[in-house]
């Protein structure tokens, strides 16, 4: 576990799975810059799957849908999205928020591809291609937990020895007995509890940050909740929470394009 302790209550902007991909516009990342300039978060957390990386999807490799996908195009889509968020913040020449990235399973496809074909891919592709460091992100490995002022972030938390993702916010609280926020499922789910000493814990599945719908998701899209999560006065695992829908993001910050 990585621990980031900042000695005062924090405002944290949490960006759920956003899946930058070739062929889909990246306007939503410019909206993020507008929001960040307005609310001045101390920390921005990318919960993972910023990149879709469909070129490395092992499930449909060899199918008609896989044909024509290109690694470099996948990487470029996410880097351009990164630039849309970070460059306007840097241009202000004011204090930058701390940028934290939890690697998701889609970015982790890069490492898995290298493991499958090391003689072909090692030294040719790698996590460095994401340019996290160049854009100021502290990058944490897939499923490593990052604790910021008592709030634990990971792309997802495992439910047991098999490593499968926890199925609900309530199960997340039960399993971890701590404040935890995860992405991965694209759903929004929330649970909270307090112990006998009055200490409050929260479990959150933080939704998705996409304004396009992949073909595979059309049957379950009603379960998804697109938007971003803002946590205010984050201290010892507790906070005030605000949800901002992607529709509200576009209405408010579409003007920044």
Which domains does the chain possess? Answer: 8-256 (3.60.21.10)
Segment 193-237, tens digit of pLDDT: 999 999 999 999 999 999 998 777 777 778 899 999 999 999 999
The predicted pLDDT at position 41 comes to 98
d(CA 12, CA 2): 17
Segment 19-29, tens digit of pLDDT: 999 999 999 99
Reading the block at residue 138, the tokens are 């502290």
Share of the chain above pLDDT 90, in %: 83
pTM of the model as a whole: 0.93
The predicted pLDDT at position 256 comes to 54
Q: What is the mean pLDDT of residues 172-198?
A: 96
Indicate whether 60 pLDDT > 90: no
């Amino acid at each position: 576990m990585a621990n980031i302790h900042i000695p005062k209550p924090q405002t944290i902007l949490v960006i759920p799975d956003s899946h930058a991909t070739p062929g889909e516009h990246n306007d939503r990342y410019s909206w993020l810059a507008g929001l960040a300039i307005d609310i001045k978060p101390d920390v921005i957390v990318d919960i993972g799957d910023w990149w879709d990386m469909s070129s490395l999807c092992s499930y449909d490799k060899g199918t008609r849908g896989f044909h024509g996908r290109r690694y470099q195009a996948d990487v470029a889509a996410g880097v351009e999205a990164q630039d849309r968020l970070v460059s306007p913040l840097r241009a202000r020449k004011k204090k930058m928020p701390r940028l934290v990235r939890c690697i998701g399973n889609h970015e982790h496809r890069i490492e898995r591809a290298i493991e499958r074909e090391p003689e072909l891919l090692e030294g040719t592709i790698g996590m460095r291609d994401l340019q996290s460091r160049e854009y100021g992100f502290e990058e944490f490995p897939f499923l490593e937990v990052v604790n910021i002022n008592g709030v634990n972030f990971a792309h997802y938390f495992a439910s047991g020895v098999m490593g499968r993702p926890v199925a609900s916010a309530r199960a997340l609280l039960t399993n971890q007995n701590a404040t935890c926020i995860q992405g991965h499922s694209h759903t929004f789910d929330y649970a909270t509890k307090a112990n006998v000493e009055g200490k409050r814990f929260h479990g959150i599945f933080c939704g998705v940050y996409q304004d396009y719908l992949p073909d595979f998701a059309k049957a379950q899209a009603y379960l998804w909740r697109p938007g971003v999560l803002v946590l205010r006065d984050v201290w010892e695992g507790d906070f005030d929470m605000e949800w901002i829908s992607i529709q509200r993001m576009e209405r408010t910050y579409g003007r920044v394009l």
